[in-house]
């Protein structure tokens, strides 16, 4: 259902023929010391970096180009050059108790760093190169975590703030996205987009450019090297390659800088970003401690590590979803639209003495018809989450929905909402640190691996005994 909100944003952008802002708060934390990285790979070669531009916000790029990345010594020279900068950057971040952040143009570039990290950290004969792979792994391993702030794609970050009037897949071209943000005057938007699409913004050069320009130059460089040409000739051949690749990486680098300027909108930061920063700093500190201890970074996780990581990712996703709507107007609107946040007014209530307690019940009328609720769900009053309620019934009324809830906690601290009061109910704020306790329980449970992950035969099927209280049985598993 939130898709409709995205769709109308795209329709509005199409109507205005320029990107529109569809967020009330900034959704990403931009580190002032962030490192922009724009690698350019050779087509077909997954791990070969031909050129790279690197630098800080509003700084000119440092560029490294090599003659032929298929030559291992040259490739390692580029990686070592990059490694020096990453090592220095990580060291500075660690000393400050902060976390590092990389910015790349698009998810293609992030994917390239991922494959590069996977390859380099298993280098056997060159410890400095291996170290670069390990350090890069920090950012690439964080990528699948919801709300991570370690490896940012310019296109992804822009799309959290702006909507274009095209398919979201087309937003992955940074040049096209920037064209939507600032259509060039005197040119139709569509013509400008077609022109922008011709510029390389990912990690691979244009095949036609490869065929006509780059391949002859690289071949000449290789031939000169093979024939033992003079250093002058070799330098000349190298300069030829560098002169055609430098403008391309510079253009990508400049586009990322432009994206960062667009992201610096005069709007408040989403409140959840504070917690995301804390999580990132803690993840980085833990990663670096692991490096100090020489902990392995395997290519494929064992069953235990995989289970832990899966739970961590789920936890990050759920926590982010729970916290996002607090203090962020647009995120709250989305939650209301999807029925995860319920707005309404109190239309009735009872207070009944049950034993020693007084049980307060409320009936809340909401105009929302798409509520994602079921009996026994626990919700909180979003303006003061100390008031907790349990859903007892959900009924379709003549206009909207009637929600019957019982107050579970907080009626004395917050007070029982009076008839006619406007209320908003939603999921409680996330407990980001709950994972520590969860990990302890998981470790105990995973001391014996399930049969699905061992070599033994599958156990004989046991008839399942249905628990008398299913809800309690489920709760016991948490």
Of 309 and 429, which has the nearer Cβ to another protein?
309
Of 285 and 321, which has the nearer Cβ to another protein?
321
Using an 8 Å Cβ cutoff, are 146 and 320 in contact? yes
How many of the other CB atoms lie within 10 Å of CB of 380?
A: 21
- Write down the least CB distance from residue 218 to another protein, Å: 8
State the DSSP code for 355. Answer: T
Q: Strand 378-381 and strand 388-396: pairing?
A: antiparallel
Q: Strand 378-381 and strand 422-426: pairing?
A: antiparallel
- Write down the least CB distance from residue 340 to another protein, Å: 14
Nearest 10 degrees: Cα torsion 295, 299, 302, 307? 90
Of 92 and 310, which has the nearer Cβ to another protein?
310
- Write down the least CB distance from residue 447 to another protein, Å: 25
- Write down the least CB distance from residue 309 to another protein, Å: 12
- Write down the least CB distance from residue 43 to another protein, Å: 3
Of 43 and 414, which has the nearer Cβ to another protein?
43
- Write down the least CB distance from residue 167 to another protein, Å: 4
Binding site for another protein (CB under 8 A): 3-5, 7-12, 14-15, 20-24, 42-47, 111, 114-115, 118-119, 165-170, 190, 194, 198, 204-208, 210-211, 214-215, 299-300, 329-330, 332-333, 336-337
Which tokens go with 357? 């307690």
Using an 8 Å Cβ cutoff, are 104 and 37 in contact? yes
- Give the number of C-alpha atoms closer than 13 A to the C-alpha of residue 424, restricted to the C-beta side: 13
How many of the other CB atoms lie within 10 Å of CB of 297?
A: 17
- Phi, then psi, of 56 in degrees rounded to 5: -95, 180
Which tokens go with 316? 């990050």
Of 3 and 73, which has the nearer Cβ to another protein?
3
Of 238 and 432, which has the nearer Cβ to another protein?
238
Of 271 and 410, which has the nearer Cβ to another protein?
271
Of 25 and 315, which has the nearer Cβ to another protein?
25
- Rounded distance, CA 79 to CA 128, Å? 9
Taken as a whole, the chain contains a residue count of 478
- Write down the least CB distance from residue 392 to another protein, Å: 29
- Rounded distance, CA 148 to CA 283, Å? 10
- Rounded distance, CA 51 to CA 43, Å? 12
Q: What is the CA radius of gyration of the chain?
A: 28
């Amino acid at each position: 259902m939130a898709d409709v909100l995205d769709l109308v944003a795209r329709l509005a952008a199409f109507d205005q023929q320029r990107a529109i802002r569809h967020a009330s708060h900034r959704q990403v934390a931009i580190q002032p010391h962030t490192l922009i990285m724009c690698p350019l790979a050779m087509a077909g070669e997954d791990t070969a970096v031909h050129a790279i531009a690197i630098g800080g916000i509003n700084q000119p790029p440092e560029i490294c180009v090599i003659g032929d990345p298929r030559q291992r010594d040259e490739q390692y020279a580029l990686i070592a050059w990059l490694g020096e900068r990453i090592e220095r950057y990580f060291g500075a971040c660690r000393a400050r108790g902060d976390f590092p952040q990389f910015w790349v143009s698009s998810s293609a570039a992030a994917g390239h760093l991922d494959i590069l990290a996977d390859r380099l950290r298993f280098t056997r004969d060159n410890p400095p190169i291996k170290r670069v792979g390990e350090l890069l792994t920090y950012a690439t391993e964080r990528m699948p975590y919801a709300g991570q702030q370690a490896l940012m794609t310019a296109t992804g970050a822009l799309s959290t703030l702006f909507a274009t009037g095209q398919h979201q897949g087309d937003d992955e071209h940074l040049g096209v996205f920037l064209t939507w943000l600032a259509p060039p005057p005197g040119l139709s938007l569509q013509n400008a987009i077609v022109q922008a699409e011709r510029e390389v913004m990912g990690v691979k050069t244009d095949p036609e450019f490869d065929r006509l320009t780059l391949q002859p130059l690289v071949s000449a460089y290789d031939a000169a090297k093979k024939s033992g040409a003079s250093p002058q000739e070799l330098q000349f051949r190298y300069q030829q390659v560098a002169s055609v690749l430098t403008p391309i990486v510079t253009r990508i680098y400049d586009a990322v800088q432009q994206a960062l300027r667009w992201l610096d909108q005069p709007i408040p930061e989403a409140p959840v970003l504070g917690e995301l920063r804390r999580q990132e700093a803690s993840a980085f500190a833990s990663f670096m401690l692991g490096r100090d201890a020489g902990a392995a970074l395997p290519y494929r996780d064992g069953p235990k590590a995989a289970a832990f990581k899966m739970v961590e990712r789920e936890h990050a996703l759920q926590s982010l979803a729970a916290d996002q709507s607090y203090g962020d107007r647009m995120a709250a609107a989305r939650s209301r639209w999807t029925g995860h946040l319920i707005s309404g007014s109190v239309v009735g209530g009872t207070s009944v003495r049950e034993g020693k307690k007084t049980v307060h019940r409320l009936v809340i009328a909401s105009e929302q018809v798409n509520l994602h609720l079921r009996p026994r769900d626990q919700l909180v009053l979003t303006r003061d989450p100390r008031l907790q309620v349990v859903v007892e019934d959900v009924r379709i009324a003549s206009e909207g929905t009637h929600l019957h809830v019982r107050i579970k906690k907080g009626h004395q601290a917050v007070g029982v909402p009076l008839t006619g009061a406007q209320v908003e109910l939603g999921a409680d704020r996330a407990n980001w640190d709950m994972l520590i306790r969860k990990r302890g329980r998981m470790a105990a449970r995973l001391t014996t691996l399930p049969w699905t992950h061992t070599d033994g035969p599958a156990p004989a099927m046991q008839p399942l005994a249905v628990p008398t209280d299913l809800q309690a049985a489920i709760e016991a598993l948490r």
